[in-house]
Chains A and B, each alone.
Chain A
Amino acid sequence: MRSVTLFHRLILRPLRRERLRTSLTICAVALGVAAVVAIELAGEAAAGSFHSSMETLIGRADFEAISTGGVAPETLTRLAKLPYALNLHPRIEDYAVLEDSHRTVPLLGIDLVGTPGEGIWTGNELGYKAGDRVKLLAGNSSRELMVQGVLGENSGETVVMDLALAARLLGRERLDRILIETPPATPGTVGEPWEKILKAAVPEGTVIEREGTRTDENRRMLTAFRWNLRVLSYISLAVGAFLIYNTISVSVVRRRAEIGILRALGATRAYIMAAFLGEAAALGVVGAAVGIVLGRLMAEGAVRMVGATVQSLYVSSRPAAIALGGSDAALALAIGSVVSIVSALLPAWEAAQVAPVEAMGRARREHEVRLHRGRDLVYAGVLAFGAWIASRQGPVGGKPVFGYLAAALLLAASAMSIPSVLAGFGWIGTLARRWTGVEGLLASRGLTGSLRRTSVLAGALSTAVAMLASVGIMVGSFRETVVRWMADRVQADFYLRPAAPAGPDRFPTLPPGIAEGLRKVFDVAAVEQIRSYPISYHGLPATLAGADLRVSERYATRAFLSGRAPAEVFEQLMDRDAAVVSEPFANKHHVRASDSIVLELAGGKRNFRVVDIYYDYSSERGIVLVDRATLLKYLPDPAPSTLAIYLNPGTSLDAGRHEIEAAIAGEPATIATNRSLREEGIRVFDRTFAITYALEAVAVFVAVMGVSGALLALVIDRRREFGLLKFLGAEQGQVRRMILFEAGLLGLLAVAVGLILGFFLSLVLIYVINKQSFGWTIQFHWPVAVLGFALATVYAATLLAGLYPARIATRLVPIEVVHEE
């Protein structure tokens, strides 16, 4: 009780007295925690969508039968003939477009024997009622259907129909899955696993897996994506940690005399340390509590962005509802408090070292910090060397652990070198005096004179700037790489695709004869048929594609890691069980040229020799590309997913388009030029990285808020100095300019250090973290315009952050502040 009273009087009261600064620190923690909470919730919602209504409508199932290209209907018959009381649920799963609202919704075909003709059941979130008529675009057909009923709670936006109707609408002859429910205890199966019994019953090439295996595969596939996003979300928290450190440091520096008195009155070192850690914990807990609420709100926006990325790059899914559980809240509270307490350890320890007789002036303290600069520079060098060593190491369990370590070491090296860089600002004082007058001199000396706190502040801001710059350079480089890659790869004049919605794991098809029809069009030089299937390879989702390589050879370019010409590589694929794989596939599965990969296709396991690896940025799932003839040998469905159409030289695009449109009249297909496809690709790319920029913005906002709070603290601490300047004849404008110069110099330093640090971090991001996480080769590129704009914005924000402290400084009453000593 006595401790609580003392804590209230010595710690909480001063915090209350400086409400604005306390609020800014709490906001910094809150935003950091909010970013973490929002990303966690959004990631969970995006990944959790695999358990969406599609999965839960049927109820419990133990196994599922799946096959590349679909499960043959005879599989159902074979399973049904087994002498066990199995419950079998054949399913066709796809997506359809509601033509009235243009919404893409999950479509589920299940066995509804005995139900009336062409009816559908709609999910409870779609808003239809029994008797409504709904026009659906599914596969290559559009049909108006009547709503027979509305499904129960948690059915979401799913549309359910009879299996036969779904097969007709989608033009399917095969099933997507058969869910198998086994009886609890069946005589004769004791000691013989169900999996073995079921595998023996199904045709070769059909796989029996425990139900939920695909969901687990999808989750595994998303691990790297979510992991990187999570790390990115911790940046704001790291910046917030700098600011907690700054707040507690300021608190300790200001109250050294007070601490000395307390020690003289009998307070132990442990008590002093606990008091300051308590201050940090109080800020952390309040900040985290606010952050949880804020994070839940931010999750709404984050889940849209994360969901869009997941749908573009990984798997067709619809985000599940955001669920903030008690464990999430407890974790956020723990993170907020622990980060705050850890950030405050050093200043709290320093507070505990204050001797009872000590009531030192600040100048001596600053002098001591200055004396440690050389030592800190040596530490910075050692840390930078450690970063270089770490960046040379491989992934650990598929995660770029050493990459993150390298980034953390670089950040630490930068933080260690900042006091020296700041001290170097002394010469800027001379220049500043020449260019900007006395205000520049005083501002630069103000920065170098309070090295201890300005170093922390510059560290926080430069960390945020470095993150902004590094992610900006990485994304800019990636974007440029993708733009160049698309210019090479997307070269057909037109691309024909089904009107039905496609995704990274679903490839609706065009009618089989459409390519033949197009080849007869006068101005069409060649048509390349491409067919893709979602497959599973070594427990991870991937894509198997077959293309007319003879056409590719003549018209398209494809860059291979070996540097060989496409014609030479394709020649080795023609009519053989050989494949080329995309770079993400090769990295994810550690496949190299001349290795063999085994694919489970209709008819059993097939061995393919990997001829080469090609650069590809279309999907993170990874692609295995074979010749179309080879693909048809194992999956004899001739319907293409995409047609690449090349016109005769000299044919105008308009004329070609008219001819093609006439040839495909009546077919539900969309036609796109290479230009529009490239633009769409860039739109998807930008949407994918929207969440990255949002997280960056939060981190920079936290840092700028910290700058404002810290400048305010500087003004309060140096109020005597500002009062004195007025005694010496300074005008209000001069005092204001001095604070703004100080903010400006701080911003300049942070931007300069942040840019240098950001450059090195971007190398780690591009060549280590990205490569080990996603397997993409990114060519380095300086996104000058984006970077310039971002850094100018940060600089302007830092200047703005100085406005309020400047206002406070000009309003100080000099005779009060000068005589108060």
Chain B
Amino acid sequence: MSLLRFEHTSKDYLSDGVAVRALYDVTLEAGEGEFLALVGRSGCGKTTLLNLAGAMDFPTSGKVLLEGLDTSELRDGELARIRREKVGFIFQSFQLLPTLSTVENVELPLLLAGSSRARERALDCLRWVEMDSFARRMPYQLSGGQMQRVAIARALSASPCLLLADEPTGNLDDATGEAILNLLRRIVDEKKTTLLMATHSAEAARMADAVVHLRDGRVEARSRSRETACVL
């Protein structure tokens, strides 16, 4: 059974009163423990697809099903719960709160969920990404790669079944980016978490199990990662 399923999903945005179509009739599946890379030019709909997958946005037509639940039929509170418990987000620019320490950033989703063992769990996650020795540091005291590791630990803190990564290596140098990609691969392999990653990078796409090619809001092709690397 697929964890995430897009069924004839379309998404329109209003720009100056004119509807602009971001996604056209997308049908796509991601199974448990599957690593999918979304590739395509800027504006092809990668981020829109991630937002729909994470229940941050709703389709104009069609459905997005997460563990069989239609996200557009859920209320705000239920959506917030899904984001807290089932989805983890990783951003290109890390998005750590500058006023919180490393460990406080990681435990934030757990605190929002009212978890009683948030600190313990956060330290576990930091250990997993090898950042436990930086637990008390503030974000401005970390390098880009370290910040992205912390962001990954935060995304993992609630043990989500779906990870959504938007250009996770976009702000990093090649070596650091590769380390982050290896970490993501390890998460999928060891934790059996499903990962959807939007990327421009061929190196990054090569780490995925499958690559979804998007062009002008449509799924152009779905291929195995090695084939994609050749295309890119």
Contacts and interface: CB of A to CB of B under 8 A. Distances in A.
Contacts of A721: 97
B4 to A, nearest CB: 17
Interface in B157-214: 158, 166
A96 interface: no
A438 interface: yes
Given A363-B139, A727-B95, A819-B47, 10 more contacts: A363-B138, A437-B111, A441-B104, A442-B100, A445-B97, A449-B98, A729-B82, A731-B80, A815-B47, A815-B51
B225 to A, nearest CB: 26
B109 A821 contact: no
A729 B114 contact: no
Given A437-B114, A441-B104, A729-B109, A364 B56 contact: no
A732 interface: yes
A156 interface: no
Nearest to B81: A729
A387 B141 CA distance: 40
Given A438-B112, A720-B95, A818-B91, A727 B83 contact: yes
B89 interface: yes
Given A363-B139, A438-B111, A724 B54 contact: no
Those 3 A-B pairs whose CB atoms lie nearest each other, nearest first: A729-B84, A449-B99, A438-B111
A112 B54 CA distance: 97
B111 A731 contact: no
Nearest to B91: A818
A727 B83 CA distance: 7
Contact of A727 (B47, B56, B104): B56
Contacts of A437: 111, 114
Interface in B65-121: 76-77, 80-85, 89, 91, 93, 95, 97-100, 104, 108-109, 111-114
B130 interface: no
Chain A CB within 10 Å, residue with most, of B93, B95, B114 = B95
Contacts of B98: 361-363, 366, 449
A449 B112 CA distance: 20
A361 B140 contact: yes
Contacts of A433: 111
B76 A363 contact: no
Given A448-B99, A815-B56, A438 B83 contact: no
Contacts of A725: 108, 112
12 contacts: A362-B98, A363-B139, A363-B140, A445-B97, A450-B99, A724-B95, A726-B80, A726-B83, A729-B80, A815-B56, A815-B57, A821-B93
Given A441-B104, A815-B56, A729 B97 contact: no
Given A449-B99, A725-B112, A364 B80 contact: no
Nearest to A723: B95
A726 B108 CA distance: 11
A446 B109 contact: no
A372 interface: no
Interface residues of A, number: 33
Interface in B32-52: 47, 51
A533 to B, nearest CB: 71
Contact of A818 (B95, B99, B139): B95
A190 interface: no
Contacts of B108: 438, 725, 728
Nearest to B110: A438
A445 B100 contact: yes
B109 to A, nearest CB: 5
A731 B57 CA distance: 15
A727 B89 contact: yes
A135 interface: no
Interface in B118-142: 138-140
A814 interface: yes
Interface string A803-821: 0000000000011001101
Nearest to A721: B97
Given A363-B139, A363-B140, A815-B57, A730 B93 contact: no
A734 interface: yes
Interface residues of B, number: 34
Contacts of A438: 108, 111-112
B37 to A, nearest CB: 19
A819 B82 CA distance: 21
A734 B112 CA distance: 8
Nearest to A444: B99
A564 interface: no
Contacts of A730: 80, 112
A363 to B, nearest CB: 4
Nearest to B51: A815
B99 A445 contact: yes
A548 B98 CA distance: 78
A729 B113 contact: yes
B186 to A, nearest CB: 22
Given A441-B104, A721-B97, A728 B109 contact: yes
A363 B98 CA distance: 7
A605 interface: no
Contacts of A363: 98, 138-140
A775 B111 CA distance: 60
Nearest to B93: A821
A727 B111 contact: no
A133 interface: no
A362 to B, nearest CB: 7
Interface string A344-387: 00000000000000000111101100000000000000000000
A729 B112 CA distance: 7
A815 to B, nearest CB: 5
Interface string A414-445: 00000000000000000001000110011001
A362 B85 CA distance: 31
A367 B98 CA distance: 11
A720 B97 CA distance: 9
A362 B138 CA distance: 14
Contact of B83 (A441, A446, A728): A728
A446 B112 contact: no
Contacts of A731: 76-77, 80, 112
Interface string A256-291: 000000000000000000000000000000000000
Contacts of A441: 104, 111
A726 to B, nearest CB: 7
Contacts of A728: 83-84, 89, 108-109, 112, 154
A272 to B, nearest CB: 26
A729 B160 CA distance: 12
A726 B87 CA distance: 12
A534 B81 CA distance: 80
A442 B93 CA distance: 21
A449 B154 CA distance: 20
A115 to B, nearest CB: 84
A376 to B, nearest CB: 20
A730 B113 CA distance: 8
A725 B111 CA distance: 11
A732 B100 CA distance: 21
Contacts of A450: 99
Contacts of A364: 140
A437 B116 CA distance: 10
A362 B89 CA distance: 24
A731 B74 CA distance: 13
A367 B140 contact: yes
Contacts of B80: 726, 729-731
Contacts of B89: 727-728
Contacts of A445: 97, 99-100, 104
Interface in A705-757: 720-721, 724-732, 734
Contacts of B56: 726-727, 814-815
A809 B91 CA distance: 21
B180 to A, nearest CB: 19
Nearest to A448: B99
Contacts of A720: 95
A236 to B, nearest CB: 32
